[in-house]
Chain A
Amino acid sequence: MTDHPQRARRRGQGELEALVLSALREADGPATAGWVQEHLGGDLAYTTVITILTRLLTKGAVTRERAGRSFAWTPASDQAGLAAHKMRRVLDGESDRGAVLASFVTGLGPDDERLLRELLGRVEGEGED
């Protein structure tokens, strides 16, 4: 039992968040942390599930409402939305991300936009090839 949180940490935060979120999505309506823990086969400690749910809450990926003495959790966005959010954080964190990832287009200089519209006009004007 004591090695569970460690095993969890080794598995990586992103993976755990995705796991918890997918469990939450399989529930009919709001679910408690205990339900999520049970649904995941008791693999994670209860406190770990709470930690991950709280983290998801700060990311806006889940919402919660008070249900008796505990909270009931509902997924706010799907996994793709969560991935998009995390990807933006990675990209925004790098001032010079073009140096790492070859992005499809780079920014346009002052005169580039006019030039580009002219060129595109040429493409349209000449029609399909």
Chain B
Amino acid sequence: MGVFVFLPLVLPLTAWPIARLAEQHLHPRAATRLLTTVAVVTAVCSTVCLGLLMVVGTAQLPGNPLPDGWSDPEVREAVPYDEVAGRLAIPALLAVLLACARTLGRHSRVRRGAHRALTGLPDTEVAVLPDAVPYAYALPGGRRGRGGRVVVTTALLSSLEPAERRALFAHERAHLVARHHRFLLAVQLAARANPFLRPLRTAVSYTAERWADEDAAQAVGSRRVVARAIGKAALVSRGTPVATLAGFAAAGPVPRRVAALLDPAPAVRSWPSVFTSVGLAAWAAAVGAAVSAMSSANSAVTMFLILYAATPL
């Protein structure tokens, strides 16, 4: 096996080009689903790999509860630098588990807190809060997808015209209907499991917004109205600038969303033809990502089989 055991840890790097291509050329719905799947598969493979490295590397440490067969010379031969890698894998795996647990905890804490804040208000789908700070978001509901609410402040509503308000509500409703928070949570956990997957998280949070924009444009029947709503909302809530290096920043997600809405609607057909240059690049990137994911899975499975064979039953 040699250094191939470490492949699942670095192969997520190959997902970067596909993230860029999918973001630019696929329908946002297809891009969100594809990138989330790639992120989850590679994150699981990378975590499994980390777990197996830890087992192999530390099975020979005195006092550990793991079967001695797992530190068999044969097994250890499969892993280069097994002692160093094994010891490094312990804190790495712990860090991954801790980060994922914290992410999950924060997710449910914010959701519960937001629902609790809304108790006492009439049980309507849209909750309008009298607040001078303009914001709006979709608050996902309970287990069966019921009880999701759109939270919006009076400050934001008053800056929009009636048609733009309809666009805003349609956008947030699209988030709720398509359960976008699941995609966002999945890529976030993936990015915690392997930091190389962070670009995928950024990409998915953008494509999920684009997906909701497209659905809203269809619901209100005008792409311009949605574009105007986003633009105005961003300008009234610009009090919190993003921390980026000035002069180095590429266009942020909001102008890109507005620009995309001013262009014609993206084709719903999920993949471009292979016979265009864009199509060729997209297909090459997709095949590359699939091969990476598969070799990640392969390395993980091989390690697992070696350990399984070495386990005395």
Contacts and interface: CB of A to CB of B under 8 A. Distances in A.
Interface of A: 12-15, 17-19, 21-22, 79-84, 86-91, 93-94, 97-113, 115-117, 119-120, 122-123, 126, 128-129
Nearest to A11: B119
Contacts of A111: 249, 251
B293 interface: no
A117 B238 CA distance: 12
B232 A120 contact: yes
A128 to B, nearest CB: 7
B249 A105 contact: no
Interface of B: 103, 106-107, 110-111, 113-114, 116-121, 127-131, 133, 135-139, 151, 153, 156, 168, 171-172, 175, 180-181, 184, 188, 205, 208-209, 212, 222-224, 227-228, 230-235, 237-238, 240-242, 244, 246-247, 249, 251-255, 258-259, 262
A117 B240 CA distance: 17
A102 B209 contact: yes
A62 to B, nearest CB: 14
Contact of B117 (A14, A119, A123): A14
Contacts, number: 171
A43 B27 CA distance: 55
Contacts of A126: 224
A82 B129 CA distance: 9
Nearest to B113: A90
Contact of A14 (B116, B253, B258): B116
A100 B110 contact: yes
Contacts of A22: 120
Contact of A104 (B107, B172, B240): B172
Contacts of B127: 83
Considering the complex of A and B, which 10 residue pairs feature the smallest CB-CB distances, nearest first? A18-B120, A86-B117, A84-B129, A90-B113, A109-B252, A104-B136, A105-B234, A14-B116, A107-B242, A109-B249
B241 A15 contact: no
A21 B205 CA distance: 39
Contacts of B180: 102
Given A82-B120, A88-B131, A105 B233 contact: yes
Contacts of B119: 12, 14-15, 18, 83
Nearest to B136: A104
A21 B233 contact: no
A119 B241 contact: no
Contact of A102 (B120, B205, B244): B205
Nearest to B243: A107
A121 to B, nearest CB: 10
B231 A103 contact: no
A80 B227 CA distance: 29
Given A81-B130, A105-B233, A128-B224, A21 B110 contact: no
A87 B114 contact: yes
B223 A129 contact: yes
A83 to B, nearest CB: 5
Given A110-B249, A119-B255, A84 B113 contact: no
A122 B234 CA distance: 16
A87 B168 CA distance: 19
A123 B228 contact: yes
Given A102-B138, A107-B241, A108-B242, A80 B130 contact: yes
- Most chain B Cβ neighbours within 10 Å, of A22, A101, A105, A129: A105
Given A109-B242, A122-B262, A102 B235 contact: no
A120 B259 CA distance: 9
B110 A105 contact: no
B130 A102 contact: no
B252 A102 contact: no
A113 B228 CA distance: 14
A83 B121 contact: yes
B111 A112 contact: no
A83 B233 contact: no
A126 B225 CA distance: 12
